[in-house]
Amino acid sequence: MDPSQLEAAVRELAARGALRVPPYPAVAVRVQEALSRPDVGLDHVAQLVGADAALAAAILRCANSALYRRGPPVSDLLQAITRIGANEVLRLLLASGLSSPAQVVGPLVVLRRMIWIRGLASAAVCQELARLRGLRTEEAFVLGLLHDFGEVVATTALEAILEERKLEVRWPAEVWNGIVERLHVGVGVATAERWRLPPLVAEVIGAHHGKGARCGDPGLLEVVAVSDEVVALMLAATAVTAADLEAVRGVRSADERAALERVVEGVPEFVAAFETPAAAAFVASPRVEAPGRTLEGGRPVRFGVSVRVARRPRLYSAVEVHPDALVLTGEEPLPEKRLLEAKIYAQEPFTAWVMTRHCVRAADGFRVEIQPFALGAELRALWGKLAG
């Protein structure tokens, strides 16, 4: 089977309404129904959320993240919900409820992890832009989160076909991403319709690539389109500064650039709040053809690096530094396409969020490539000294 045949098989499933679409998060539905009643207070919302330990933990992590932190850390769920606000909690419950299908182990898991990181980052960017422009922040967050969620559903459909037909194909990530890119708008619209979401969601999914589809709210559509450009910058570099954002045509002012720079710096901690236990595992994607290494010719170095995975540090030696990456060796693997916190014991030690770009078995353990992610000003200076 070649890529076009596999793509056609997913389109056929979509046409028959046979796609495996994850259920809309039940707790989000229950909280939404509760908030529609005037006699419901935040304590009842806390009870609904607290019934699911994983969701409650995610809300607490969000409340203490850089995007929502106001004052000292909170450890009580009701305090967390009070800090964030009930409507904001509803959006976070949606994100948390969809995190499991986005991160579940499968033959294309590394693709889904990147899709999910982009979706959460887009949601945060959309929410901030909507606030600055006087648009509806609650809808902006949901549109940012869901406008590319069809990619998750399409990837899951590809995995299901591979399993059902026992296909042994192995293609580069670029081939798989191309299939998913061509499928995701139609699959995303079908998903929104299956969930019976407001028409605006399907309109933005259909129009966010600017191919002539109509949208009832051009302002929110523009916010989503801008978020795609900002997130692309974020994934390509170690940092996104206000100066970098001048290249994004849809960012209108210096105030927007400064605000988005702050939001980008908070994205890694926000994404980490929604990580599931499955995301901590090193699972190779057997259907994704990967090179033995993606970096060559870096400057040799020798210092320790500690990377925290599922609250436990894993120890490595840095052996090469590149302008935008470090190469590590160690006895344990790291999950690919994950945002993780790393302590870098260089001459001037510092802690930063990193993206695991590549992990491969080596003679004495594992060779791991990590990229610093969304560095703030102080960390950019420290990284510049190390990489320079």
Q: Tell me where in the chain the CATH 2.40.10.220 domain(s) lie.
A: 291-387
Read off the pLDDT of each residue in 258-265 and give the average, rounded to a whole number.
96
248-261: per-residue pLDDT in tens?
989 999 999 999 99
DSSP letter string, 209-257: T-SS---S-HHHHHHHHHHHHHHHHHHHSS---TTGGGG-TT--SHHHH
29-44: per-residue pLDDT in tens?
888 888 888 887 888 9
316-366: per-residue pLDDT in tens?
999 999 999 999 999 999 988 899 999 999 999 999 999 999 998 888 899
Distances (CA, A) of 106 to 10, 103, 161, 183, 288: 17, 9, 12, 19, 11
* Percent of the chain whose predicted confidence (pLDDT) is above 90: 65
Please give the CATH superfamily to which domain 3-280 belongs: Hypothetical protein af1432 (1.10.3210.10)
Domain 291-387 is of which CATH architecture? Beta Barrel (2.40)
Distances (CA, A) of 381 to 178, 187, 244, 350: 36, 43, 16, 11
Q: Tell me where in the chain the CATH 1.10.3210.10 domain(s) lie.
A: 3-280
